[in-house]
Amino acid sequence: MPDLDFRIAGAEVLEFAAAPTLLFKLAVANRTGEPVRAILLHVQVRIEPVLRDYAPAERERLLELFGDSARWGTTLHSLLWTQATVQVRPFQGETVVDLPLSCTYDFEVVSAKYFHALDDGAVPLVFLFSGTVFYLAEAGLQVVQIPWDREAAFRLPIGLWRQAMEHYFPNSAWLRLEREAFDRLYRYRARRALPSWEATLDELLRAAGEGRS
pTM of the entire predicted model: 0.83
Do residues 148 and 203 share a domain?
Answer: no
Q: Could you list the residue range(s) of the whole structural domain that residue 186 is in?
A: 177-213
CATH number assigned to the domain comprising residue 10: 2.60.40.10
- Can you give the pLDDT at residue 182? 81
* Distance of alpha carbon 115 from alpha carbon 111, whole angstroms: 6
What does the pLDDT read at residue 28?
A: 97
196 burial level (CB within 10 Å; 0-12, 13-18, 19+): exposed
94 and 50: one domain?
yes
Same domain as 113, residue 30: yes
Cite the DSSP H helix spans in the chain.
Answer: 56-61, 63-66, 72-75, 110-117, 158-168, 179-191, 197-207
Residues 28, 130: one domain?
Answer: yes
Do 47 and 81 share a domain, yes or no?
A: yes
Chunked mean pLDDT (size 10), the chain, 213 residues: 94 90 96 92 97 95 91 92 95 95 81 92 97 88 93 97 87 75 85 85 85 59
Contact between residue 2 and residue 144 where contact means Cβ atoms under 8 Å apart: yes
| Same domain as 156, residue 85 | yes
| Residue 54: partners with Cβ closer than 8 Å, 6 or more residues away | 62, 69, 118
Asked if residues 38 and 88 have their Cβ atoms less than 8 Å apart, the reply is yes
Instruction: Indicate whether 124 and 44 sit together in one domain.
Output: yes
Predicted pLDDT of residue 43: 97
Please tell me whether residues 150 and 184 are part of one structural domain.
no
Based on the fold, state whether residues 155 and 182 are members of the same structural domain.
no
In total, how many domains does the chain have? 2
Per-residue confidence (pLDDT) for residue 103, from 0 to 100: 86
> Which of 42, 35, 130 shows the shortest CA–CA distance to 89?
35
Laid out side by side, the sheet with 21-30 consists of 4-13, 21-30, 94-102
pLDDT given for residue 174 in this prediction? 67
